[in-house]
C-alpha cells in the first residue's frame, strides 16, 4: 500500500507544533503559578468572630468590614496579597503566603484595637479610635521622660479642646480593648487636637499600636481556632522534593507506556506532555493556588491520565487480535473505549466534587487539581491521542505492522 506522505507531514507538524509551544512557554506558565503557603512559607490562621458588645450580631457585612480592616493592617506591614476568606457564618481564614516575619503579622491580626478616652470615672467613653485622623498615629517619644509613646490626632480638634478644657486637673484614662493603658492628668486645654498615649511601651510595642490605630479597629472580637505556620526554608524544601518526585514518576510512566505499547505508547507520551502542560496552564489562568497536596494530585493525575490511553490501546489490541485490520481496529477500538473511559472518570469527578464541597484549604487544593486533571485528560488522552493515532494510521505508514502496537503475529486469529 502506498504511504500517504501528506498525512505523515501533518502528523509531524502537529508534534513539532505541540513541542514548540510547550517548550517556549513553559517558563512563563510556571513563573505565573501562585504557590500556597505550605510551599513558600507563610502563615494561616482561622478566626471565629464574636460580638464585641452584647446584642451585636455577626452579619456578613460585619465580617466583610472585619476583612477590610484586617487587610489594611496586613498591608501596613508590607505584605502583599493577603488572602482573607469568610467561611461559614462567623469565620475568617487569613492566609499570608510568603510573609517574611510571621511573628509580626500575627501580633497585628487578632487584636480588636478599640481605643477609648474615658471620663475621670473611667465609665463614660468620651472619644474613640474612630475619632482619630486616619494614618496620623505614629510612634514618638515623650519629650520630658524620653519614654516611647504613640502620638495621635483627633479629627474634631474643637471637641477635643472642649473636653480637655472641661477636665483640666483631672484624669482622662485611655483604654485599649477594655484595659487601661494610662491615666494622664490633663494639664491644660489642648487646642490642636493632638494627644499622646503612654503606657510603659517599648519602642516596638508603641510602633505596633500606632500601626493598629492607623489601620482602624475591628468591629468584632476574634478568637483563634487554628493556625498553621510554615517556615519559608521548609516550604521550599517541600516544593523541591515534590517536584523531584514528579520527575521520577513521569520518567517511570513514560518508560512503561513506551515499553508496553510501542508506537501508541510514544503518542501517549506526547499526549501526557501536553496534559502536564495544559493542567499547569489552567492552574495559572484560573489562579489556582498550588499547595503540596495540589502538587501530589497533579502527579497522581499524570498517572491517571494515562489510564484513558491504556484503556483505548488495550481495546485496539483486542480488535487487532481478533483479526481486524489496523485502521478498522483503531477506529472501533477508540470508539468503543470512549464510553468506558467516560464512565470510569465520572466516579472520580463525583468524589473530587464532594471533596471540594466539604474540604478546607489543603484538601480543596487537592480536589481542584484532581478535577482540572480529569477534564484536561479528556482533551489530551482521548481527543488528542485519537487524532494523532488516526493520522498515523491513515497515512498507511503502519500497514500490517502489528508489532508496532505490541501485538505478536501469532496472537492474531483468523477472521
Partner 1 sequence: MNYKFDFVKARKWFFLFSLATILLGVVSLLVQGLNLGIDFVSGSRLEINLHQAVDKAKADAKLEELGYASPNTRLAGNDKELLIFRTDKALSKEKVIQIRDAFQKVYGKSVAVNEQTVDPIIGRELARNAIYSVLIASIGIIAYITLRFEYRFAFAAIIAILYDALFTISLFSIFQWEVDLVFIAAVLTIVGYSTNDTIVIFDRIRENVKKENPKTFEALSSVVNTSVQQTLVRSINTVLTVVFAALALLIFGGESIKYFSIALLIGLISGAYSSICIASQIWIDWKWRSLKRADQNLQSAE
Binding site for partner 1 (CB under 8 A): 38, 46, 103, 106-107, 224-231, 233-234, 237-238, 241-242, 244-246, 248-249, 252-253, 256-257, 260, 292-293, 296-297, 299-300, 302-304, 306-307, 310-311, 314, 318, 339-340, 343-355, 357-360, 362-363, 366-367, 370
Q: Between residues 44 and 131, which has the closer beta carbon with respect to partner 1? A: 44
Name, in order, each residue with C-beta under 8 angstroms of 24's C-beta and a sequence gap of 6 or more: none
Q: Between residues 241 and 399, which has the closer beta carbon with respect to partner 1? A: 241
Q: How far is the CB of 108 from partner 1 (least distance, A)?
A: 12
Establish how many alpha carbons lie within 13 A of residue 185's alpha carbon, considering only the half-sphere containing its beta carbon: 3
Q: What CA–CA distance (Å, rounded) separates 179 from 199? A: 11
3-class SS of residue 345: helix
C-alpha torsion sign, points 73, 74, 75, 76: positive
Q: How far is the CB of 338 from partner 1 (least distance, A)?
A: 11
Q: 291: which 3 cell numbers?
A: 499547595
Q: Between residues 183 and 332, which has the closer beta carbon with respect to partner 1? A: 332
Q: How far is the CB of 8 from partner 1 (least distance, A)?
A: 29
Rounded to 5 degrees, φ, ψ at 176 are: -125, 120
Q: How far is the CB of 189 from partner 1 (least distance, A)?
A: 42
Q: Between residues 159 and 348, which has the closer beta carbon with respect to partner 1? A: 348
Q: What CA–CA distance (Å, rounded) separates 190 from 120? A: 17
CB neighbours of residue 89 within 10 Å: 10
- Taking CA atoms, 211 is separated from 65, 80, 113, 192, in Å, by 18, 16, 10, 22
Give helix 102-109 / helix 60-76 axis angle, nearest 10°.
Answer: 140
Q: How far is the CB of 215 from partner 1 (least distance, A)?
A: 19
Q: How far is the CB of 237 from partner 1 (least distance, A)?
A: 7
CB neighbours of residue 297 within 10 Å: 23
Q: 1: which 3 cell numbers?
A: 500500500
Q: Between residues 168 and 234, which has the closer beta carbon with respect to partner 1? A: 234
Q: How far is the CB of 102 from partner 1 (least distance, A)?
A: 9
Establish how many alpha carbons lie within 13 A of residue 381's alpha carbon, considering only the half-sphere containing its beta carbon: 29
Q: Between residues 240 and 399, which has the closer beta carbon with respect to partner 1? A: 240
For residues 97 and 80, is the Cβ–Cβ distance under 8 A? no
Q: How far is the CB of 341 from partner 1 (least distance, A)?
A: 9
Burial class (CB in 10 A: 0-12, 13-18, 19+), 136: middle
- Taking CA atoms, 66 is separated from 50, 71, 83, 106, in Å, by 11, 8, 13, 16
Q: Between residues 175 and 356, which has the closer beta carbon with respect to partner 1? A: 356
Q: How far is the CB of 256 from partner 1 (least distance, A)?
A: 6
Amino acid at each position: 500500500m502506498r504511504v500517504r506522505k501528506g498525512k505523515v507531514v501533518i502528523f509531524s507538524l502537529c508534534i513539532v507544533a505541540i513541542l514548540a509551544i510547550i517548550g517556549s512557554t513553559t517558563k512563563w506558565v510556571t513563573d505565573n503559578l501562585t504557590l500556597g503557603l505550605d510551599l513558600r512559607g507563610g502563615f494561616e490562621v482561622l478566626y471565629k468572630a464574636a460580638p464585641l458588645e452584647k446584642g451585636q450580631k455577626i452579619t456578613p457585612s460585619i465580617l466583610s468590614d472585619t476583612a477590610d480592616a484586617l487587610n489594611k493592617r496586613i498591608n501596613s506591614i508590607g505584605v502583599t496579597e493577603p488572602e482573607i476568606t469568610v467561611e461559614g457564618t462567623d469565620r475568617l481564614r487569613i492566609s499570608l503566603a510568603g510573609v517574611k516575619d510571621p511573628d509580626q503579622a500575627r501580633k497585628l491580626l487578632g487584636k480588636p484595637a478599640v481605643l477609648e478616652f474615658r471620663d475621670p470615672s473611667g465609665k463614660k467613653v468620651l472619644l474613640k479610635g474612630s475619632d482619630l485622623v486616619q494614618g496620623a498615629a505614629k510612634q514618638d517619644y515623650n519629650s520630658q521622660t524620653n519614654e516611647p509613646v504613640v502620638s495621635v490626632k483627633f479629627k474634631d480638634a474643637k471637641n477635643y479642646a472642649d473636653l480637655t478644657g472641661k477636665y483640666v486637673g483631672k484624669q482622662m484614662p485611655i483604654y485599649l480593648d477594655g484595659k487601661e493603658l494610662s491615666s494622664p492628668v490633663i494639664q491644660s486645654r489642648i487646642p490642636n487636637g493632638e494627644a499622646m498615649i503612654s503606657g510603659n511601651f517599648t519602642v516596638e510595642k508603641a510602633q505596633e499600636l500606632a500601626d493598629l490605630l492607623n489601620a482602624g479597629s475591628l468591629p468584632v472580637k476574634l478568637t483563634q481556632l487554628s493556625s498553621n505556620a510554615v517556615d519559608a526554608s521548609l516550604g521550599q524544601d517541600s516544593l523541591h522534593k515534590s517536584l523531584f518526585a514528579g520527575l521520577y514518576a513521569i520518567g517511570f510512566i513514560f518508560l512503561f507506556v513506551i515499553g508496553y505499547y510501542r508506537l501508541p505508547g510514544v503518542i501517549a507520551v506526547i499526549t501526557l506532555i501536553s496534559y502536564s502542560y495544559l493542567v499547569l496552564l489552567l492552574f495559572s489562568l484560573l489562579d489556582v493556588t498550588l499547595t503540596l497536596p495540589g502538587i501530589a494530585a497533579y502527579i497522581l493525575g499524570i498517572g491517571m491520565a494515562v489510564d484513558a490511553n491504556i484503556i483505548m490501546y488495550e481495546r485496539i489490541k483486542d480488535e487487532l487480535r481478533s483479526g481486524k485490520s489496523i485502521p478498522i481496529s483503531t477506529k472501533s477500538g477508540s470508539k468503543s473505549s470512549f464510553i468506558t473511559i467516560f464512565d470510569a472518570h465520572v466516579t472520580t469527578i463525583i468524589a473530587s466534587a464532594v471533596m471540594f464541597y466539604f474540604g478546607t484549604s489543603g484538601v480543596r487544593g487537592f480536589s481542584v487539581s484532581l478535577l482540572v486533571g480529569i477534564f484536561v485528560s479528556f482533551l489530551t488522552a482521548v481527543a488528542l491521542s485519537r487524532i494523532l493515532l488516526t493520522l498515523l494510521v491513515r497515512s498507511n505508514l503502519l500497514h500490517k505492522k502489528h508489532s508496532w502496537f505490541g501485538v505478536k503475529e501469532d496472537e492474531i486469529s483468523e477472521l
